[in-house]
Amino acid sequence: MDERFFTRLSILLEDDAVVVASVLDTRGATPRKAGSRMLIAARSNEFSVGGGLAEARVIDAALALLQQGGTQTQLDIDLTGKHDAAGVCGGSMRIALRRWYGSVDRLRAQTIGRDLRAGRIATLQPEEIGGDVGASARLQPDARLLIIGGGHCALALVELARLLDFDLWVFDSRPGCFADGQFADATTCSGDFEQLAQAFDTQRAVYAVLLNRDYASDVATLRVLRDRDLAFLGMMGSRKRIAEVGTALSRDAAILAKLHAPVGLSIGAHTPHEIAVSILAQLVERRHRASKLGDTD
């Protein structure tokens, strides 16, 4: 989300000042956690720090900051259900508001957005957040979702994944697989399986999902991915096919240990879009867990 967020910030700053609301920390049950952000302009707002009355109070404070021409402020949101609380979730949130305006801030937002779109990590300084001294934020480019196999399930996965802040790549070994332009929302590559190396020339975390049409392609793919740094590795297939792949790669215990097969949560999925939903649910869960733990194994 950082990538899309700062791209939008730089665009909005071309017209007027914008307040960036950032969740600094939380206690107990809250709708959003530290690092969540929202954009509030005079006539519109985008993204969210939780919705409901809590977010309404954030918007009111941001509009006041815009009207008064201030630079920053902080807001404590009580969600304990007590008198005048903004909700009954049970926790509390501390939110920083920082007004971005003028050519210097616009250039800074453009630089951050450009770095993130190029797959580079960026850092937001404390004074840019409006938080406490030392409260810098590490901004992550979107994780790359590498889909291997260009069939119906891959099409459905691309269609839904583009809404979930993934940098999309699709590979298929078949010549001419992408000639009809069906994967216009993704970077595509084809040829021999060694071409997969292109997808790893990045600082982005890489999530690989195998949706190949045959068992031999699964084996060839996993052999190429064996020594790659992967945030996630999943493979679609029946129990028998998965077992056959395991037998073929019995000497490659390291890659088999990383493999989630069958990929996707068990929701009884049958159609390509249902399968895509089950896969994306697993990937989103993995992405949030990795973000929380700082673990991408």
Per-residue pLDDT, averaged over 154-163, amounts to: 95
Superfamily of domain 143-293: NAD(P)-binding Rossmann-like Domain (3.40.50.720)
Per-residue pLDDT, averaged over 253-281, amounts to: 95
Asked which of 3-17, 24-38, 177-191, 261-275 is least confident by mean pLDDT, the reply is: 177-191
Per-residue pLDDT, averaged over 260-283, amounts to: 96
Strands (E) across 16-155 are located at 18-27, 37-40, 45-47, 72-78, 92-100, 122-124, 137-139, 143-148
pLDDT at 294: 53
DSSP classification of residue 242: H
Give start-end residues of each CATH 3.40.50.720 domain in the chain: 143-293
pLDDT at 295: 43
Per-residue pLDDT, averaged over 65-75, amounts to: 93
Is residue 140 within 8 A of residue 206, CB to CB? The reply is no
pLDDT band at 134 (very low <50, low <70, confident <90, very high): low
**Hey, what are 254's tokens?**
């390291």
Question: Mean pLDDT in the chain?
Answer: 92
Is 70 exceeded by the pLDDT of residue 99? yes
pLDDT at 104: 96
Instruction: Provide the phi-psi class of 20: left if phi over 0, else alpha when psi is between -120 and 50, else beta.
Output: beta
Instruction: Provide, rounded to the nearest whole percent, the portion of the chain with pLDDT above 90.
Output: 81
pLDDT tens readout for residues 159-206: 999 999 999 999 999 878 887 878 998 999 999 999 999 999 998 999
Alpha-carbon torsion (130, 53, 165, 62), positive or negative: negative
Per-residue pLDDT, averaged over 111-139, amounts to: 88
